[in-house]
């Protein structure tokens, strides 16, 4: 029948305590947004650096081809410079597009959105 010495099942209480601990350990929304801003800024800087490295490589290649122009057939030189121009325009458009997207995301997460309850002291809206 009823055994008064039996300890009740504590699994429900343990689960609730563990859930409460897990919720407390989660990062706050502000921390997550701050980490996103930092990550976006780092990615934006990497994109800019990649664009600069690409530009330096293209300029060096064009300089090399110009210096070797006397050893190349004129049609071959024109073909190489055309391919280089086509390649460089395509990659610059791609890199600028990616950098622009990262910049827009960074700007989006950097602005603090004001709630309607945060109105100024002297601000009276009807």
Q: Where along the chain do its domains lie?
A: 33-111
pTM over the 0.75 mark: no
68-117 pLDDT tens trace? 888 888 899 999 999 999 999 998 899 889 888 888 888 887 776 544 44
Mean pLDDT score, 33-60: 85
Q: Check pLDDT > 50 for residue 126.
A: no
Mean pLDDT score, 52-78: 91
Signed CA dihedral, 58, 53, 43, 38: sign only: negative
> How sure is the predictor about 13, in pLDDT bands with cuts at 50, 70 and 90?
confident
Cβ-in-10-Å burial (0-12, 13-18, 19+) of 71 comes to exposed
d(CA 82, CA 95): 20
Q: Check pLDDT > 80 for residue 42.
A: yes
87-101 pLDDT tens trace? 999 988 998 898 888
Cβ-in-10-Å burial (0-12, 13-18, 19+) of 102 comes to buried
């Amino acid at each position: 029948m009823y055994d008064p010495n039996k300890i009740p099942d504590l699994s429900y209480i343990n689960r609730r305590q563990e859930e409460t601990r897990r919720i407390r350990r989660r990062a706050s929304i502000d921390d997550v947004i701050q980490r996103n801003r930092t990550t976006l800024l780092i990615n934006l800087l990497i994109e800019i650096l990649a664009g600069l490295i690409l530009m330096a490589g293209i300029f060096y290649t064009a300089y090399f081809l110009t210096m070797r122009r006397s050893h190349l057939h004129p049609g071959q030189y024109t073909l190489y410079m055309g391919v280089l121009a086509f390649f460089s325009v395509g990659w610059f458009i791609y890199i600028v597009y990616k950098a622009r997207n990262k910049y827009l995301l960074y700007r989006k997460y950097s602005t603090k959105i004001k709630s309607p309850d945060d109105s100024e002291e002297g601000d009276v809206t009807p």
